[in-house]
Structure 1
Amino acid sequence: MRLLALLSFLMLCTLAPLSHAKSLHEGWQSVDGMQIFYREGGNPADPTVVFLHGNPLSSLMYAEVMETLASTRHLHVIAMDYPSFGYSDAPDHVRYAYTFDHLAQTVDDFLKARNIARYSLYMQDYGVPVGFRLMTLHPEAIASVMVQNGVIHLDGFPAAQDPQGELRRHWEHRNAALDSRRAAYVQSLAYPKSAGWDDEDHAGPDALMQMMAAEQRPGVIDARNDLWFDYGNNVKRYPAWQSLLSRLKVPVLVLWGKKDTFFTTPGAVAYKRDAPQAEIHILDSTHFATLDAPDTVASLVGGFLAKHRDALR
């Protein structure tokens, strides 16, 4: 009897991690003639959280956080890879216009195809301009807003603060030399190995390997350069997005890895100007906090959504 009890206990111990690992499923959704990869977990009848990834990664950056939320909270979680990112199709930039307007439309069409009409948004980096376009299109759909290392204020964007700086000049008059430098950098990316390993954002080799494989597909750097050139249109919309966030008056959570030198912590504090109700947490982490500190992020997100459960329906 003791042996049977021990075997039963060991089986439970081995099955529990498997159950957690299977809390997400993956697939491809046909959207506008493309196959868009996504990760999803939880009961669709529960409040939905849509995760919008940053550059140059994919929905992979959210997998661990999503698994935790799906398995420990009554939440429906979903994240897609934008066209040319992660495992999604990468149509030629002549056929598919790589602008943030177009990405947002593709995400909107994806959500409609998945029958998602009411949701909370978790946005990081490029996910912020995509998400704020969704908020502009469907303000009634937004239950709550969560931002991590992504800006709608120049306060947190040092590289773009100087109107005569390289970025701002590039966004006004496209600089072919900058495009070439970006292309050369992508081609220089090499298979992760022990010698010369550099992962200052603590994204991890799996995420970096997927990023490299996606970016080095034929034609993808042209798509990414088009998208980076279009980023200037996001900066022009910052005042409108600040006003929108102020009008929405939904629960707001801001998480920020303080080791991020591209999007800096003043960008986190600036959200308080538009959303005084915002809950702000400065983390001892990097630009990719969901990969560097997934347990911390999942705990903060889970607690925030539990506190505002009534507003999520």
Structure 2
Amino acid sequence: MSVFGTRHHILTVDGLDVFYREAGDPSRPTLVLLHGFPSSSHMYRGLIADLADEFHLIAPDHIGFGRSAAPDVGEFTYSFERLTEVTLALLDKLGLERFALYLHDYGAPIGLRIASRDPQRVTALITQSGNAYVEGFTPFWDVLFAHAEDRATHEPAVRELLTAAATKWQYEHGVPADRLDRIAPETWTLDQAGLDRPGNKEIQLQLFWDYQFNLAGYPAFQEYFRTHRPPTLVAWGRGDEIFGPAGAEAFARDLPDARIHLLDAGHFALETHGEEIAALVRDFLRSVR
């Protein structure tokens, strides 16, 4: 089989089945792609195909997402710390000693935990709506932070974020009218199918609640930026109403050499600007070998 084609694997990690996509020659520089809510490694399918001729790509599904295991909330601790542990165990089991990280949404607090704790292992960072600054939070988060303080009172409002309408909105908001036809409908329908599995909404509610603890890690992430100066590419949707463009621009505070590109896109910028982002990533990774 050609190394350029995407391969699909399941590896048992800490007793859990972790699904991941792989493409490219393992002897080439590795890029680990960490997805966000409510998606899976599926969000990287186009980028993987675009870059597999030159790079080695690994894209796992987090526990509770995609094709990875999704144990009940009573059987697994759904926290970003625990998801980090599983991700790191996967990378160790795959024997990946050095790699760049692509961070989107939930992938940011997971990947930045890894990078800040073992800086020598990470060759570069790419962030697409992968937040690390309070400036990135928009009014979208008001109900989530209220839920963090009082789960019972605000759970009905937060559950609205798990509906089909909300999932579709995540893909379409902030996208120019002339690019809406680039968004494949299976994106939000696939994500919603995952959310609609028995017990999955409870998983997502737990992660919504746990997100508050990621903010406590921001000072350590920012200290990592200042101390280790990882080469960083920011490719962010200017129209993102979940993590706003101020979150992208904030990286320049601690990483003055960061390449920051605000695209005329929304939260899932790869769906509408995949070719542009692939070109930015290719050029960037070539410069940091």
TM over 0.5: yes
Aligned partners of 2:31 and 2:99 also within 8 Å: yes
The 1-side partners of 2:43 and 2:229 are apart by: 28
Letter in 1 for 2:112: F
Q: RMSD between aligned alpha carbons? A: 2.3
Q: Which has the larger radius of gyration?
A: 1
Q: Equivalent of 1:55, from 15, 23, 37?
A: 37
Q: What are the residue-to-residue correspondences of 1:174-185 with 2, within 5 Å?
A: 174-183=150-159
Give the length in aligned residue pairs: 280
- Rounded to whole Å, the distance in 2 between the matches of 1:185 and 1:56 is 10
**Post-superposition offset of 1:184:** 5.2
Match among 90, 93, 100 for residue 120 of structure 1: 100
Residue in structure 2 matched with residue 30 of structure 1 by the alignment: 12
Q: Deviations over 1:256-286 (max 9, x none)?
A: 1111111111111100011111011111111
Gaps of 5+ in 1: 1-17
How high is the TM-score relative to the length of structure 2?
A: 0.90
Work out the CA distance in 1 between the residues paired with 2:171 and 2:207. Answer: 24
3-state SS of 1:254 partner = strand
For 1:182 and 1:150, how far apart are their aligned partners in 2? 21
Q: Partner letter of residue 283 of structure 2? A: G
Structure 1 residues 19-98: aligned runs within 5 Å: 23-71=5-53, 73=54, 75-98=55-78
How far apart, CA to CA, are the structure 2 residues paired with 1:118 and 1:199? 32
After superposition, where does 1:1-313 map in structure 2 within 5 Å?
23-71=5-53, 73=54, 75-159=55-139, 165-171=142-148, 173-183=149-159, 186=162, 188-189=163-164, 200-201=172-173, 203-309=183-289
Which one is further off, 24-33 or 49-58?
Answer: 24-33
Structure-1 separation of matches of 2:116 and 2:172: 34
What is the CA-CA distance between 1:98 and the residue it aligns to?
0.6
Report the 3-state secondary structure (helix = DSSP H, G, I; strand = E; otherwise coil) of the residue aligned with 2:172. coil
Q: Distance in 2 between matches of 1:284 and 1:45?
A: 35
Mapped partners of 2:70, 2:144: distance in 1: 25
User: Matches of 1:142 and 1:91 in 2, distance apart?
Assistant: 30
Q: Share of identical aligned residues, percent? A: 35
Question: How far off its partner does 1:36 sit?
Answer: 1.1
**What do residues 22-61 of structure 1 show as CA deviations (whole Å, max 9, x unaligned)?**
6211111111111111111111111100000011101111
Task: Kindly state the Cα deviation for residue 181 of structure 1 after the two structures are TM-superposed.
Answer: 3.3
Letter in 2 for 1:112: D
| Residue 137 (structure 1) shift | 2.6
Could you tell me how far apart the structure 1 residues matched to 2:17 and 2:150 are?
Answer: 30
Q: In structure 2, what residue type is equivalent to 1:182?
A: V
**2:239 partner letter:** K
TM-score (norm 1): 0.83
1:292, distance to aligned residue in structure 2 (A): 1.7
* Pairwise CA distance, 1:182: 3.5
Judged with a 3 Å threshold, the aligned counterparts in structure 2 of structure 1 residues 199 and 247 are, in CA distance, closer, same or farther, namely: closer
Q: Following the alignment from structure 1 to structure 2, what is the Cα–Cα distance between the partners of residues 197 and 220?
A: 20
CA contact (8 A) 1:48 1:120 kept: yes
* Counterparts of 2:220 and 2:270, CA distance in 1: 28
Q: CA deviation at 1:233?
A: 0.6
Native 8 Å contact 2:171 2:267 kept in 1:
no
Relative distance call for 1:185 and 1:49 in structure 2 (3 A) is closer
- Secondary structure of the 1:293 match is helix
